[in-house]
């Protein structure tokens, strides 16, 4: 019970900090929308090409918005060594991980909604007919990505070139989730039968479970000085 | 199985502790035992290892060699109980700049699972005279107020061991005097205090025991009255004697 209260305390603390300075969500959303916007000029896809390019474009936008978010999440913890203040408390390191992960998942989820809305306007594409499946795929893949990003964000926070180190560390590990996200999203947006891309959804779910559990168990070693 | 700290007399101990950072040996074979009622002044020149020693005692840093013991057992065996018994302040405040002092205390209290949190918060806010600035974001507070908020954070959970790294930094004369009186009362309350300060006179007014560090090694550990100050290169006024003298 105490663990759940700690997770909630960390999550609500991150919400409160973000409400005060409003930098993380704004920068993630604007960056993601800019990626979508620039791709529109770079490729000028014809209508029939939109379905082919859109999933990859969205996941590129989500990936880089996520990097921004993970870096900003731990920037707030580095200020005044606030993260060490958490480590001084008698809490399970895994609970710290889950609290930070849930906060990152919330921020990235909001940013993704904004990016998808922008993409639907620019590419004149309606997600409504496939919203349920697309939302499930996006949630599962985002969960896996945030599980990895939160862990590597904590590791990179203690390095000198953290803005560069984070994507260098996390993208190779997160590649399977991006592939699953693009393939499953393509199938969903094209309206293909679920069975055609169910394997990718299972991969995303399995990846997410494995990395959430692994990160929960190993986070105390990430925190060690 | 967690230790029954209600029955076991809580002590904090370093046994043969060394701490290596790349090519810097910050601590070498340090043995130190802190018991309730101790009031220890940690003194030494810059780079002596005072901050590292306090970080190892606080469990924020792990030793490269040796053991940290809490209530006679390895601290890793009962880390939660050890952390619940320790209050630590350092050169940084451990506070979130966007949150107010009260919000930071509330967050800390929830991490520690403290009952009667509002009463505890009010008590430490009054103790460190922070009430009137309790709702101001920490980043907007002066250095002195930030230090007081950091101290309030360390005292919130009523720890048995207070590990304070230069607690007087940034405090005005009135706040420093008030803190000095508070620290002087800790031993009679059954708590242990280990603190460092560059003001030797201030330190000796509070502490009963001196631990002198130099080059990461303990050069003296004993009652202040028995400390060989000239041998430790400390004059009666608390100044270092330069080697040429």
Which 3 state secondary structure label does DSSP give A182?
Answer: helix
- Residue pairs spanning A and B at CB distance below 8 A: 77
For position A51, what pLDDT does the model report? 77
Q: How far apart are CA B230 and CA B43, in angstroms?
A: 14
Q: Judge whether residue A67 has pLDDT over 90.
A: yes
Quickly tell me which residue has 């013991």 as its tokens: B69
* Sign of the torsion formed by the C-alpha atoms of B70, B76, B77 and B80: positive
Q: What angle do CA B93, B97, B100 make, to 5 degrees?
A: 100
Instruction: Please name the residue of chain B whose CA is at the shortest distance from the CA of residue A22.
Output: B98
Contacts A76 to B, Cβ<8 Å: 96, 98
Q: How many CB atoms lie within 10 A of CB A20?
A: 16
DSSP for residue B139 = G
Tens of pLDDT, residues B47-83? 899 999 999 999 999 999 999 999 989 999 999 999 9
- What average pLDDT does the segment A37-52 reach? 74
Residues composing chain B: 245
| Sheet containing B161-165: order of strands | B86-89, B161-165, B192-196, B39-43, B209-214, B217-223
For position B87, what pLDDT does the model report? 97
Beta strands in A61-132 (DSSP E): none
Of B61, B84, B110, the CB nearest to A90: B84
- What average pLDDT does the segment A23-50 reach? 83
Average of per-residue pLDDT values in chain A: 91
Q: Å from A217 to nearest chain B CA?
A: 16
* Sign of the torsion formed by the C-alpha atoms of B79, B84, B90 and B92: positive
Class of domain B9-85+160-245: alpha beta
Q: Among A13-27, A70-84, B162-176, B223-237, name the one with the lowest average pLDDT.
A: B223-237
The domain ranges of chain B are 9-85+160-245, 93-158
Q: Looking only at Cα atoms, what is the longest distance across chain B?
A: 58
Predicted TM-score of the model (pTM): 0.90
For position A98, what pLDDT does the model report? 97
Q: Which residues of chain B have pLDDT under 70?
A: 1-9, 233-245
- What average pLDDT does the segment A191-201 reach? 92
Q: Å from A162 to nearest chain B CA?
A: 20
Question: B111 vs A9: CB contact, 8 Å cut-off?
Answer: yes
Q: Tell me which residues of chain B have a C-beta less than 8 Å from any C-beta of chain A.
A: 55, 58-62, 79-84, 86, 88, 90, 92-99, 103, 107-108, 110-113, 137-138, 153
- What average pLDDT does the segment A51-59 reach? 89
Tens of pLDDT, residues A107-164? 999 999 999 999 999 888 889 999 999 999 999 999 999 999 999 999 888 777 877 8
Residue A225's pLDDT band (boundaries 50, 70, 90)? Answer: low
């Amino acid at each position: 019970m105490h663990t759940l209260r700690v997770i909630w305390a960390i999550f609500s603390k991150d919400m409160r900090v973000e409400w005060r300075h409003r930098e993380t969500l704004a920068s993630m959303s604007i960056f993601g929308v800019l990626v979508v916007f620039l791709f529109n000029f770079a490729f000028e896809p014809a209508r029939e090409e939109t379905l082919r390019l859109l999933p990859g474009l969205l996941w590129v936008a989500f990936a880089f918005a996520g990097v921004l978010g993970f870096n900003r999440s731990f920037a707030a913890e580095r200020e005044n060594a606030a993260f060490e203040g958490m480590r001084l408390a008698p809490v399970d390191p895994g609970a710290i991980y889950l609290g930070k992960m849930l906060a990152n998942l919330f921020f990235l989820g909001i940013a993704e909604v904004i990016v998808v809305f922008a993409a639907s306007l620019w590419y004149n594409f309606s997600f409504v007919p496939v919203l349920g499946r697309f939302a499930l795929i996006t949630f599962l893949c985002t969960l896996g990505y945030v599980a990895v990003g939160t862990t590597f964000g904590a590791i990179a926070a203690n390095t000198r070139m953290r803005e560069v180190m984070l994507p260098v560390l996390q993208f190779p590990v997160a590649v399977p989730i991006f592939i699953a996200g693009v393939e499953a999203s393509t199938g969903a947006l094209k309206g293909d039968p679920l069975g055609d891309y169910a394997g990718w959804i299972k991969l995303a779910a399995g990846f997410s479970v494995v990395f959430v559990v692994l990160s929960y168990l190993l986070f105390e070693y990430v925190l060690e000085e | 199985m967690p230790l029954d700290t209600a029955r076991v007399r809580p002590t904090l101990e370093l046994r043969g502790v060394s701490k290596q950072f790349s090519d810097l040996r910050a601590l070498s074979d340090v043995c130190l035992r802190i018991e309730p009622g101790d009031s220890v002044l940690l003194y030494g020149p810059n780079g002596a290892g005072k901050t590292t020693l306090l970080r190892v005692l606080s469990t924020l840093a792990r030793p490269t060699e040796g053991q940290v013991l809490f209530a006679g057992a390895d601290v890793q065996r009962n880390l939660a109980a050890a952390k619940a018994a320790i209050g630590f302040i350092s050169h940084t405040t451990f506070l979130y700049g966007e949150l107010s002092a009260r919000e930071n205390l509330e967050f800390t209290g929830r991490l520690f699972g403290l009952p009667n949190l509002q009463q505890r918060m009010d008590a430490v806010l009054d103790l460190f005279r922070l009430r009137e600035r309790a709702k101001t974001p920490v980043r907007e507070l002066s250095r002195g107020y930030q230090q007081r908020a950091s101290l309030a954070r360390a005292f919130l959970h009523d720890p048995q061991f207070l590990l304070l790294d230069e607690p007087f930094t940034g405090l005005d004369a009135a706040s420093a005097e008030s803190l000095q009186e508070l620290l002087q009362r800790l031993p009679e309350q059954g708590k242990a205090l280990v603190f460092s300060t560059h003001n030797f006179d201030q330190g000796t007014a509070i502490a009963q025991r001196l631990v002198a560090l130099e080059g990461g090694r303990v050069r003296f550990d004993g009652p202040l009255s028995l400390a060989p100050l000239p041998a430790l290169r400390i004059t009666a006024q608390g100044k270092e004697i330069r080697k040429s003298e």
